[in-house]
Structure 1
Amino acid sequence: MAFTWYDAFGRPVDTTKLKTEQAAPTTASVRRTDAHHPAAGLTPGRLASILRSSIDGDPENYLALAEDIEERDNHYLGVLGTRKTQVAGLELTVEAAGEDAKSEAAAQLVRDIIERDGFYDELVDILDAIGKGYSCTEIVWETSEKDWRPKRLAFRDPRWFTFDRIDGETPLLRENAGVEPLNPYQWIFHTGKAKSGLPIRGGFARAVAWSFLFKSYTVKDWAIFCEAYGQPLRLGKYDASASERDKEVLLEAVTNIGADYAAIVPVSMAVEFVKAEISGSHQLYKERADWLDQQVSKVVLGQTGTTDAIAGGHAVGKTHDGVRDDIEKSDARRLAATLNRDLVRPIVDLNHGPQAKYPKICIGRPEQIDTKALVDNVTKLVPFGLKVSASVMRDRIGMPEPGKDDELLVAPRGPAPVDPAAPDIIPPADPAGKRETVHSVGGLKKDAIERATDAMLSDWEPLVSPLVAGLEAEIAAASSIEDVKAILSRRFAGMDVSAMTELLAKSAFAARIAGEVDDSL
């Protein structure tokens, strides 16, 4: 019995259809590669009509206009390209669904796919949805090795698609006889979602179209002004007896003066040059064009500080770059969700069968870890019982697992422990034939104060023996806490502290003498 796969939307998958391209362009179909250019001679009335038609089920002119805007407006092309390439250039990782061998094999298959040459360019094509609202990328499958692997992800012109007239969201492929649904497991359908609503209304081109139109008028007027700027007015004069032919000759002469800087006229005619005087602010064109560019920057990148020369300098740029980071994360999460639904699941299902859980593509910047702080914290907490995996620490600090034959670094050896009962170390005789006793612990020399402390601690038992003699028996016979307090008070009151006082005085005197003679031994 044949097995049936179902995609993420519950549609059955027909694997026989996956072996041929569904949307390959042909010269006889509506899916042609030639294009028209609605941006030429665009007016406010025509633009409004194009935008309305795109919502009413005919998005072709709008999508062609979106392409024209990218080609004609350098600023829009720059900021849109920045947004697409910034996301496509992020690190891609694949997380296995589990720790078992089957889950790891499925994850490795996905890793092999995304590590193909050309996958970066394919991601940029998928992100065309940011500008136009959606993108449709066909998976061209390769089955020659009995495995299902994408040979390439083919970008298809968005003009070749339309949407279901009922829900406005389901993409349909345009055919000569109408439309047909996209084959399950053969398409990556990504939406830009610049705003909530229908996919055709979710791209930036819709908002940028009006800025593009107004800027085109401004730039055209600016070009005319720059062409005539500084050129004097050439004024031709003729008398009342001049014929129509004479007037034509004079006009031709005045015109040639502007182009060739040479002309001849009859003696009865004259040409005067009137100096051009500029009135008003000729900065208006530049300021208006710059202002419109800033609006485009706000739409596409959410800010202007990293794209336009504005007051505020570095500080403003850093703040605005943080806004761009948030947009980058949003685009990355949306792209990863699309790839996991339309690429990862088909790859795993066709090669390993349906799974309860699937590997997951994650897109983003590597986590920034303060290695010094991490090592310091682990060093302090491990002695208190914190259990830390060595493999986790290696991953965190970026250290690979050492090989079997690698030379390993080891902790420096500390000083050998010293037996407190061992005698002081006596070094060999010096050149003068003298010997000197050196007191040390762990190879470190003791000073006079440390030696005095050792001497005091070695004689403590005779000093306190009168205090503790018979104390245990008295406390055992006591019947209350008050009796114990009374016993201890009586013992302390009768204690002879003269011996302890004498020992402390001798020690203090010895330390003083050692300080005077700089005794470091």
Structure 2
Amino acid sequence: MKWLEDFLKKVSSKKLAEPAGEAETGSIADKWEETIVAGLTPGRMAQILKDAAGDDPDDFLGMAEEMEELDPHYGSVLRTRKLAISSIEAEIVAASEDAKDQEIAKFAREIVDAPNFPDLLADCLDGLGKGYAVCAIEWDTSKNLWKPENYVWRDPRSFRWDRATRTIKRRLADGSLVDLDPGRYVTHVPRLKSGAPVRGALARLASWSFLFKNYTVKDWVRFIEVYGMPLRVGKYGPNANEDDKRNLLRALANIGTDAAGIIPNTMNIDFVQTGAGTAAQGPVFGQFADYLDKQISKGVLGQTMTTDDGASRAQSEVHNEVRLDIKAVDARQLAASIQKSLIIPACALNFGMLEKYPTFRLPVEEPEDLKAWTANVTEFMDRGLPVSRKQIREKIVLDEPIDEADALVGRAPRSSLEPDDEIAPRSRKARAHRSDCPCCGGKAIALATSEGQDSLDEIVAAALADDAMDGLVEPVLAAARGSRSFDEFMTKLTQAAGEMDAASIITRLGEATFKARGLGSATDDPQA
């Protein structure tokens, strides 16, 4: 790495320890108070974009800053894309398992775990909207190991993209460009489009939609102000002079603002109600504004489903995959910038030139449907496939229980063919009771689940004994045995009905009902 060798030769501990503001001495002012968006016209927009594509992006960078502040939709979707990256938990991967590499990785991990490091990522992502971002590093060189102490966002208008060297350079007050001080800056240039960084900036992509929406909203507000209000028409006579006309016009204006006015009796004012056709103008403004917002969503997020359209869940999940692709690319590019601008220089300053350096990563994990995964695994297990408990725990992120007291075990599913040991023995009314029932103290359940229920089973079994149904079944069986066809059997079945002896079963069912009623009363009402 020749650039790293040059860095170590040029680096100065005094320069590294200087505050970021003092390090900018000799550069142009980093504050531009002149607004760009106010009074913006299509002609002015075209000129701004043309200058930005050349060597003068100042107005474009200022406009990009104001777009984030003034357009709620653009600011929201751009912030969503930034937060998708800055919220990722960063990690450091050691160059090897060697003790020295592990020590260097631990040092790099301390830099990444610092409280102000996420702010550095957020400031670097400012380059998404503007094409590039620059942050100054303030180092703490008072200890044996030099570490970044603070990160300061710098206005991109103080820097320029040098086409010849394809690097970011600092811009001095006279307009000349100088190389950045070694180890003093973290630069991030998102590669959103081939060519100059400014031409791929998201603000450039959304600029025309922003301008047209600005015009649309203004016209919409004007329409809302006058919609529904009657049109005031003043009439003057043929002999009216210029003073009379001015007085009439002034009266019309006063009526519009004060709802009152005076005119000579020789003049009159008519109030003409606006036509219903103008009501259609309202939806036109709104639909056009929504259309422009969708174009901005497509440009920034790559989709509109999760921001503009309340569509089905399946459609939203498909579009989220598109956003995942963008997120992965943004994370990879930002990680490369942090690796080159911060991690490698910091390790080289403290441990010298190394063959390999720890790697900074922003891992993007693809969301997985664990419910579907579990269903698939369960199906394979039911077909006899052995599955590792350890692998399943790692997949669903569950630790092994410490001991038996720490383990939570769910109830095994009960087969529909198996009797319920707790519910089946109870009578219908006893199921409404609880173990702490205030009306019976749980006696109803105790009786229903013990001898009382056994007795009821015996009563039912005795009533439905094999010989109980003989008087009803035998005539039917005899008719079936003596028939040669179904029609003949149906004819004889009518005759068999008169031969049936139901006395026995009626007697048995009556006795069983009487016994069951008595047993039920004793069971459901313990006081009886």
Relative to the length of structure 2, the TM-score reads: 0.68
SS in 1 for 2:264: coil
Residue 290 of structure 1 aligns with which residue? 290
- Paired AA for residue 169 in structure 2: L
CA distance in 2, matches of 1:394, 1:15: 51
Residue 264 (structure 1) shift: 2.1
Structure-2 change in CA distance of 1:357 and 1:396 (3 Å): farther
Residue 304 of structure 2 aligns with which residue? 304
Structure-2 change in CA distance of 1:210 and 1:252 (3 Å): same
| Identity %, equivalent residues | 39
Summarize the alignment of residues 400-439 of structure 1 with structure 2, pairs less than 5 Å apart: none
Question: Does residue 334 of structure 2 align to residue 328 of structure 1?
Answer: no
Residue 11 of structure 2 aligns with which residue? 14
Residue 81 of structure 2 aligns with which residue? 83
Residue 172 of structure 1 aligns with which residue? 169
CA distance in 2, matches of 1:352, 1:401: 40
- Paired AA for residue 173 in structure 2: N
Structure-2 change in CA distance of 1:96 and 1:396 (3 Å): farther
* Cα RMSD for the two superposed structures: 3.2
Please say if residues 306 and 317 of structure 1, whose CA atoms lie closer than 8 Å, have aligned partners that are also in contact. Answer: yes
Question: Does residue 50 of structure 2 align to residue 44 of structure 1?
Answer: no
Question: Does residue 117 of structure 2 align to residue 119 of structure 1?
Answer: yes
Residue 76 (structure 1) shift: 0.6
Question: Does residue 386 of structure 2 align to residue 380 of structure 1?
Answer: yes
**Quick check: which one's helix share is greater?**
2
Residue 407 (structure 1) shift: 5.8
Please say if residues 91 and 365 of structure 1, whose CA atoms lie closer than 8 Å, have aligned partners that are also in contact. Answer: no
SS in 2 for 1:257: helix
CA distance in 2, matches of 1:308, 1:159: 33
CA distance in 2, matches of 1:241, 1:162: 69
Paired positions, count: 395
Summarize the alignment of residues 84-483 of structure 1 with structure 2, pairs less than 5 Å apart: 84-167=82-165, 169-177=166-174, 178-279=176-277, 281-282=280-281, 283-309=283-309, 312-365=311-364, 380=386, 398=397
SS in 2 for 1:279: helix
- Paired AA for residue 170 in structure 1: T
Please say if residues 131 and 192 of structure 1, whose CA atoms lie closer than 8 Å, have aligned partners that are also in contact. Answer: no
Structure-2 change in CA distance of 1:64 and 1:381 (3 Å): closer
Residue 249 (structure 1) shift: 2.2
Structure-2 change in CA distance of 1:183 and 1:220 (3 Å): same
- Paired AA for residue 342 in structure 1: S
Please say if residues 8 and 341 of structure 1, whose CA atoms lie closer than 8 Å, have aligned partners that are also in contact. Answer: no
Residue 305 (structure 1) shift: 0.4
Relative to the length of structure 1, the TM-score reads: 0.69
Deviates more, 1:18-27 or 1:228-237: 18-27
Please say if residues 235 and 271 of structure 1, whose CA atoms lie closer than 8 Å, have aligned partners that are also in contact. Answer: yes
- Paired AA for residue 200 in structure 1: V
Please say if residues 91 and 363 of structure 1, whose CA atoms lie closer than 8 Å, have aligned partners that are also in contact. Answer: yes
Structure-2 change in CA distance of 1:368 and 1:236 (3 Å): closer
Please say if residues 134 and 187 of structure 2, whose CA atoms lie closer than 8 Å, have aligned partners that are also in contact. Answer: yes
CA distance in 2, matches of 1:365, 1:170: 28
Please say if residues 231 and 273 of structure 2, whose CA atoms lie closer than 8 Å, have aligned partners that are also in contact. Answer: yes
Residue 410 (structure 1) shift: 12
CA distance in 2, matches of 1:410, 1:286: 58
Where structure 1 has 5 or more consecutive residues not aligned to the other structure, the ranges are 383-387, 412-521
CA distance in 2, matches of 1:21, 1:285: 50
Please say if residues 27 and 171 of structure 2, whose CA atoms lie closer than 8 Å, have aligned partners that are also in contact. Answer: no
Structure-2 change in CA distance of 1:53 and 1:398 (3 Å): same
Residue 237 (structure 1) shift: 1.8
Please say if residues 26 and 32 of structure 1, whose CA atoms lie closer than 8 Å, have aligned partners that are also in contact. Answer: no
- Paired AA for residue 128 in structure 1: D
- Paired AA for residue 351 in structure 2: H
Where structure 2 has 5 or more consecutive residues not aligned to the other structure, the ranges are 408-528
Residue 156 (structure 1) shift: 0.5
Moved over 6 A (4+): 25-28, 367-372, 374-377, 392-397, 399-402, 408-411
Residue 71 (structure 1) shift: 1.6
CA distance in 1, matches of 2:276, 2:65: 38
CA distance in 1, matches of 2:400, 2:6: 44
Please say if residues 7 and 184 of structure 1, whose CA atoms lie closer than 8 Å, have aligned partners that are also in contact. Answer: no
